[in-house]
Homo-oligomer: A and B are copies of this chain.
């Protein structure tokens, strides 16, 4: 049985602790005023005296605030541990790295599974519909709270990249640079379609009950199906062929409706693990925010980036068919057209969309050089 486990490296930053920041309310893109809001976040490294070395790392759909190091008593490192730490791409000897769980999430930040103080019960579908911009506005409250005027960089892959673009468009004066990875200005119909099928799988589960499942059984079967669909899109045809081939499971029973093939067992394993840590309603709200997102509100991106002074490093991966490289090229083109200094790199990877979590050597090379350039340029300014 092929499983996946992130292992702690020798140069891990060690034990870290999740912190919490709360504020009264936020006026959402929909016009609704919503609060109170808590964000779970972690920081790594130290903020320098003039607060010019802060980098905000933005997580993907299923990510959380725990981007690096390990939690006391646990041995599973953060989701981007290989990128954040001493001597790594986001070098904690130089930079102060912040990662917060998004608004709408289910891992410490306020989301549909949080308790609504008016009712004493989880919000469920009374949680307001949120947008990527709302997530970013909530993060801005956190950045203000930390006393940071200008972030050295904002970065993230996949949905993290959507947030990075929202920062670029909405708060260009608050960032010196942006590193959108394996992402897009707006979802294509194919990307919307995959998300919609995941949502339908959740809502088709009899336990979903229009979102009111918190006192009973959660719609874990539907959520697992949604996650399995996701995992297919995160890998490539080639990486699946290399990893699984048509290998049968040890306990395969040919001609039964069990998981005969290794690839099936892997999907089940991924699905089953996901439902232990993720809330189905959060999945609905977050994927909808992704689909509705349009960095430039329907206009060409270059139009809304006029006079923006931010440096950009855009990274895509050749075998990523969920966020294909042509979408990253559109970001680069818009940057160039609006006079933004943008560097583009298409990494020759077979890992598919997952590459942003796996192509560490290449990303480290690209990111560390880019940050050095921005940091010393910015310092001198």
Contacts and interface: CB of A to CB of B under 8 A. Distances in A.
Interface in A124-142: 125, 129
A221 B294 CA distance: 30
B237 A188 contact: yes
Q: Which 10 A-B pairs have the closest CB atoms?
A: A204-B221, A129-B255, A189-B263, A206-B206, A189-B240, A189-B244, A196-B264, A190-B237, A197-B228, A193-B232
Contact of A267 (B125, B197, B294): B197
Interface stretch (A160-168, A284-292, A353-361, A371-379): A284-292
B240 A30 contact: no
B264 A193 contact: yes
Contact of A232 (B30, B129, B197): B197
Interface string A217-228: 000011011001
Contact of A257 (B203, B243, B260, B262): B203
Interface of A: 30, 125, 129, 186-190, 192-194, 196-197, 199-201, 203-207, 221-222, 224-225, 228-229, 231-232, 235, 237, 240-241, 243-246, 254-257, 259-264, 267-268, 271, 284, 288, 291-292, 294, 321, 324
A241 B260 CA distance: 35
B30 A255 contact: yes
A232 B190 contact: yes
A255 B246 CA distance: 42
B203 A204 contact: no
Contacts of A264: 192-193, 196
27 contacts: A186-B246, A187-B246, A188-B246, A189-B243, A189-B244, A189-B262, A189-B263, A190-B237, A190-B240, A190-B241, A192-B246, A193-B228, A193-B231, A196-B261, A196-B263, A196-B267, A197-B225, A197-B232, A200-B221, A200-B224, A201-B201, A203-B257, A206-B207, A237-B324, A257-B284, A260-B291, A321-B321
